[in-house]
Every structure is written in structure tokens, then in C-alpha cells.
Amino acid sequence: MITVAEIMTTAPITAEPDMPLGQIIGLMKEHHCRQIPILHSGRLIGIITDRDTRLAMNSPITLHERASDQFVLSQIKAEACMTRDPLTVTPDTPAIEAADLMKTYKFGGLPVVAEGRLVGIITVSDILTHYMKLLSERG
């Protein structure tokens, strides 16, 4: 049985809840990721995804002018857009169970938590990478 620990991304990019949305988007672009766990005092309190950022940028509440975009990017904080208390898995969770959760809930990734601390993230890309490795080993 393959566990989450065997295929997860360790030391994922994280952010604080007061980080502006523009910086969050910058981190996603720089590190080629679509999910960023949000930590407060070292504890996982949420997750923000590329979809969350797109929804915030295209909010029907704001007029869609350049000035509005600049306001959203500089003034709206991660905590306003993140999913609070996200679904998590542990390093010992079977990878197939994590994959099933992602498929069921249409998540791109799940934070991996051990003893209340974030230790990684498992993403669809991690699962596909491992799957491709298994296929190539089979020849």
C-alpha cells in the first residue's frame, strides 16, 4: 500500500492569512502551484487555490476596472478568500484514499498534517507523477 508520505510534496509553499492576494498570486506563479496552505502561528487554518483567486478577481461586487483590480490585489487578504479548516490527510493515509477524496470533492490537493502541523501537500500532480513512474517501471 502506497501512503501519502511516499508521494506528497514536502515543505510546500505557505502563506499567512494577512498576505495580500497579489502576493499569493505571485507565489503561485513563481512556484508553479495551484494551492497554498495558509498558516497562522505555524498551524494550518486554511487553503487558498487558484480558483479562489480567480473568483476574488472576478467578483460581481467590484466594478471591473483597473483600479478595482489593483485594490483587490493589494488590499484583499488571503483570509478573505481561503477555505477555512480544509479537509486534510495524514502521512499514513493510503494514497488511493487521498486520490478518492480529491476525485469526490474535485480538489486539486490536500494538506498533509501530522500532530497538528503541516508536513506537506498531496496534489493531483503528485499522484500523476507517481502513476507515470509506476507505468515506466513496468516497461
pLDDT for 59 equals 59
Q: Using alpha carbons only, how large is the chain's radius of gyration in Å?
A: 16
DSSP conformation letters of 86-131:
---B-TTSBHHHHHHHHHHHT-SEEEEEETTEEEEEEEHHHHHHHH
For residue 126, what pLDDT is reported?
Answer: 97
By the 8 A CB rule, do 72 and 21 touch? yes
Could you give the CA distance from residue 136 to residue 81 in angstroms, rounded to a whole number?
A: 39
Domains and CATH numbers, the chain: 4-138 (3.10.580.10)
pLDDT tens by residue, 35-72: 999 999 999 999 999 999 988 877 555 555 655 667 67
In terms of pTM, does the model score above 0.75?
yes
| CB count in 10 Å sphere of residue 53 | 22
Q: Mention every residue, 6+ apart, whose C-beta is less than 8 A from residue 102.
A: 108, 109, 110, 124, 127
Please name which of 70, 84, 90, 85 lies closest in space to residue 21, comparing C-alpha atoms.
70
